[in-house]
Amino acid sequence: MLTPGGDGPVESLADLTIVGAAEELRAGRVKAVELVEAVLSRARATEPHVNAYAHLDCDAALAAARDADRKWSDGQISGPLHGIPIGIKDLIATRGMPTEAGSDVLAGNVPNVDAAVVRRLRAAGAIITGKHRTHEFGIGMNAPPTRNPWDLTRYPGGSTAGGGVSVAVGSSLAAIGTDGGGSIRKPAAINGVVGLKPTFGMVDADGLVPGGTSVDHIGWLTRSVADAALLHDVLSDQPGSDRPVRAARPRIGCPAYFFDGIEEGIAEVVQRAVESLAERGAEVVLMDIPGMSETPRAHTLLVSWESARLHREWMDACPQRYHPASLRALQAGSRVADADLQWARDQRRRVRIAIDDAMDEHDLDALCTPTLALAPVPMAEMDPERLLPEYCRLTLPFNLSGHPAASVNCGTSPLGLPVGLQIVGRRYCEPTVLRLAAMTELPAMRPQPLPGVAEDQAAIV
């Protein structure tokens, strides 16, 4: 029976990791068409329940798979992703495929060129399955909603919700997304998969529908740390430097701010993960980083101002085409005072320095924190203006600072829902983050069987 990178049996090709699928393709045991058909079949089975895709391009994906098989036969291997089906967030431009940013404002928009990250994927042999749903422009809410496959009534994460859900259920082997305040790491934690946000600027953002330009990172969600590392090698502008992790006793900091106010069920799971690192030889340092409590306000001011500036013409021309919550957020950004904006910019610089200084002072290889402070709430109770800041509280400081950060599955809460451990490294030290993530990684979690859909869930928005 096929194995996901050697880790154990799987039911279907759609459950393979990238590393496992690439091994099967290289060995000739699987054709690219078979792999893509399995993923598309999983998509057709799960989409009525989870709504992860805004646009699923079966014909183009199968045509690309047939072409990949012809190249295999001729000995023409494009790269390490040859024949691998991957989905793209609907904020990232794709040639000949809709890129609508989850908004009526861009309805019908079909770019004639790929974003830089998509060009790299194609050059490495990847097959694009379609576009994953996003919150409107990455700032509003997801409508119609992507659903949490662990509990279809609960928050699925955002704004790369479609990508996180797709990887979890097997309708893509990886998802390329964006992270402006936790938008990759949140759905990674909620869906039991791996999410990596590289150092700010490490991945070319050309072709990204702009939002908070000073905090937006391109990153990805995968089923394993090894897959995340492979995508980093393919998509990053540079491989990243490394502060070698001390093999015998790596030093990991646990800042107090990130452990305050955490739901008990999440705190217990994360604590066990940290203890498991200590059992494997890590030295855990309890410490803190000054100024973290100021980061939510600074982040809100920057993102709202930058987004409002970029959307000004559209807001003037067609305000009725925005979701009301998105429009309110953008209008608030138009009212940010110059003094507040300057404070936020200064705070961003102070946060970056504070994190660097704290890691230097305690001689740390990385920081470990919970990814989220609370479990996903029922969507019927989801008040974005009240709850989204709390869901982003532990992730957004590293968007301001630009440090690389990953979320890795570390267990399940008493509710039976996945819990994420966030690992943060020094800037440009993604290899360190990934090495430590591999030390604590649990197998990717896929809900099986997918929960049924209750009749009254059709009305959830």
- Residues annotated catalytic, as ranges: 89, 159, 183
The C-alpha atoms of residue 112 and residue 347 are separated, in whole angstroms, by 39
Looking up tokens 């955490």 gives 262
The C-alpha atoms of residue 419 and residue 375 are separated, in whole angstroms, by 8
The C-alpha atoms of residue 247 and residue 271 are separated, in whole angstroms, by 22
**127 CB contacts (<8 Å, ≥6 apart)?**
32, 36, 61, 64, 65, 68, 83, 84, 85, 86
Q: Is 28 helix (H, G, I), strand (E, B) or coil?
A: coil
* Token code pair at residue 381: 């109770």
The C-alpha atoms of residue 262 and residue 64 are separated, in whole angstroms, by 46
Looking up tokens 């993530």 gives 437
The H or E element containing residue 424 is strand 418-425
Q: Contact at 8 Å (CB) between 127 and 83?
A: yes
Q: Contact at 8 Å (CB) between 296 and 389?
A: yes
The H or E element containing residue 268 is helix 264-279
- CA dihedral sign, ordered 320, 326, 328, 331: negative
Q: Where are the beta strands (DSSP E) in 159-282?
A: 174-179, 194-197, 217-222, 251-255
Q: Which residue in 213, 211, 215, 162 sits closest to 190, CA to CA?
A: 162
3-state secondary structure 154-195: ECCCCCCHHHHHHHHHCCCCEEEEEECCCCCHHHHHHHCCEE
The C-alpha atoms of residue 438 and residue 278 are separated, in whole angstroms, by 14
